[in-house]
């Protein structure tokens, strides 16, 4: 199982540029709109100070971070939900992502004109959000028609589903997103067959010029807007961060320090995405490799073992569990055990963020 974040926004907002900064995939970027047509897919390593500390402590031959996927799709414009631009394709490509990353342009550029003629992040956000909302209304109305037919034919279960869909439709018509309607678990169950965009976790990226980043007007306005959506906003210096990928790792830090930054904005973007998706990290130390893995919050041990290998899930017996802080403080697994801080857990135990797991299983 992997998690995919969809990068959305107007044409020329810098989506592919940020995708490249995240994944080093080298997707095409261009000064003209709709330079991306087919989605670019790539994985980004999840920045993890704990994994780095385990590397320093244990000196393994191999240190493998966990990853998260990003999809960079075509830009969307007003009317996309009715097929304008690359509308329908665009919408099909983001139906199956787990989280929406909305890139908003906060840089002026003579060589790359804004598709709407001026820099105005609030207008830009509204254009994109309106299309998401209209696209959801469209898909809801189609699903409702199907259900209404079933109810007429006497299918009782359809009525409750229809009520859930109508509630979302009503909310959307008032401009309220599905994710903000406080839907109950049974309602969410009924919405399963309808991949609503406005139900997905959501965050903003402000793609800024250096001037804007140092406290510009457009950046401030975007911060206020994101607060009204209760969505995180991550500032990124898109073109500079994409260039960072071409530098050797040791020079990247220097480059960032020159800009007064402790770490790249894309790190925060990945971490925020991870948090919004409700994911946790556990670690394995096997032979000469220390490796980080991702599971959703509340995952029982056998399923976590299955991330590593399906045989380990099938034959799961138990796991030895330590937490990162204990290992860091005490210096070795043997010392953690000696101090009585290593515990043995069975199949009902739920993995906690930052645990180091040793699985015991039968073949």
Ligand X SMILES: Nc1nc2c(ncn2[C@@H]2O[C@H](COP(=O)(O)OP(=O)(O)OP(=O)(O)O)[C@@H](O)[C@H]2O)c(=O)[nH]1
Listed ranges 9-17, 76-84, 264-272, 301-309: which one lies at the site for Mg ion (CB under 5 A): 9-17
- Residue 97 CB, nearest distance to ligand X (Å)? 16
Binding letters toward Mg ion, positions 242-281, x by CB under 5 A: ----------------------------------------
Minimum separation from the CB atom of position 137 to ligand X (A): 24
Q: How far is the CB of 67 from ligand X (least distance, A)?
A: 22
Could you tell me how far CA 194 lies from the centroid of its own chain?
A: 20
Residue 31 touches which of ligand X, Mg ion, none (CB < 5 to 8 A by kind)? Answer: ligand X
Give the span between the Cα atoms of 111 and 31, in whole angstroms: 7
The residues, ordered by sequence, that sit 6+ positions from 121 with a Cβ below 8 Å of its Cβ are 104, 105, 106, 206, 218, 221, 222, 225
Residue closer to Mg ion, measured from CB, 16 or 281 = 16
Q: By C-beta, is 11 or 302 nearer to ligand X?
A: 11
Task: Name the residue nearer to ligand X (CB basis): 84 or 320.
Answer: 84
Compute the least distance from the CB of residue 223 to ligand X, in Å. Answer: 17
Residue nearest to ligand X (CB): 75
Residue 70's Cβ-side half-sphere holds a number of Cα atoms within 13 Å equal to 28
Q: Which is nearer to ligand X, 240 or 319 (CB)?
A: 240
Report the interface residues with ligand X, using CB under 6 A. 9, 11-17, 29-31, 33-36, 74-75, 107, 109, 112, 207, 209, 237-239
74 vs 191, beta carbon nearer ligand X? 74
Distance in Å, CB of 115 to ligand X, minimum: 8
Judged by CB, which is closer to ligand X: 234, or 342? 234
- Cβ proximity to Mg ion, 16 vs 294, nearer residue: 16
Could you tell me the smallest distance in angstroms from the CB atom of residue 106 to ligand X? 8
Residue numbers 14-73 binding Mg ion by CB under 5 A: 15-16, 36
Binding string to Mg ion for residues 104 to 143, with x set by CB under 5 A, is what?
Answer: ----------------------------------------
Report what 109 binds from Mg ion, ligand X, none; CB cut-off 5-8 Å by kind.
ligand X
Q: Which is nearer to Mg ion, 103 or 270 (CB)?
A: 103
Does residue 207 interact with Mg ion by CB under 5 A?
Answer: no
Shortest Å distance, C-beta 210 to ligand X: 9
For residue 96, CA distances in Å to 93, 99, 195, 273, 338 come to 7, 9, 7, 16, 47
User: Which residues are at the interface with Mg ion (CB under 5 A)?
Assistant: 15-16, 36
């Amino acid at each position: 199982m992997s998690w995919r974040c969809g990068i959305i926004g107007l044409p020329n907002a810098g989506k592919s540029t940020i995708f490249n900064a995240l994944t080093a995939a080298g997707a095409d970027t261009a000064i003209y709109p709709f330079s991306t047509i087919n989605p670019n897919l790539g994985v980004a390593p999840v920045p993890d100070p704990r994994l780095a500390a385990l590397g320093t402590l244990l000196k393994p031959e191999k240190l493998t971070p966990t990853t998260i996927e990003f999809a960079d799709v075509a830009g969307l414009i007003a009317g996309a939900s009715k097929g304008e631009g690359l509308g329908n394709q665009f919408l099909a490509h983001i139906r199956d992502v787990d989280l929406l990353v909305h890139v908003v342009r906060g840089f002026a550029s003579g060589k790359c004109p804004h598709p709407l003629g001026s820099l105005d992040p609030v207008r830009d956000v509204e254009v994109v959000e309106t299309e998401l909302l209209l696209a959801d209304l469209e898909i809801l109305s189609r699903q409702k028609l199907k259900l209404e037919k079933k109810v007429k034919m006497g299918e009782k279960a359809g009525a409750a589903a229809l009520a859930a869909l109508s509630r979302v439709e009503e909310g959307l018509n008032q401009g309220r997103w599905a994710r903000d309607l406080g839907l109950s678990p049974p309602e969410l169950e009924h919405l399963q067959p309808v991949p609503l965009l406005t139900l997905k976790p959501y965050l903003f990226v402000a793609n800024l010029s250096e001037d804007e980043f140092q406290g510009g007007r457009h950046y401030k306005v975007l911060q206020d807007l994101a607060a009204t959506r209760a969505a995180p906003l991550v500032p990124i210096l898109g073109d500079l961060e994409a260039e960072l990928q071409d530098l050797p790792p040791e020079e990247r830090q220097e480059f960032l320090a020159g800009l007064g930054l402790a770490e790249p904005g894309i790190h925060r973007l990945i971490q925020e995405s991870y948090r919004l998706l409700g994911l946790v990290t556990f670690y394995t130390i096997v032979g000469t490799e220390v490796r980080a893995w991702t599971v959703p919050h509340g995952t029982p041990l056998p399923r976590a073992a299955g991330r590593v290998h399906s045989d380990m899930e099938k034959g799961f017996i138990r796991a030895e569990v330590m937490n990162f802080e204990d290992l860091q403080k005490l210096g070795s697994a043997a010392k953690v055990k000696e101090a009585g801080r290593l515990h043995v857990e069975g199949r009902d135990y739920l993995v906690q963020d930052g645990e180091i797991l040793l699985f015991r299983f039968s073949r």
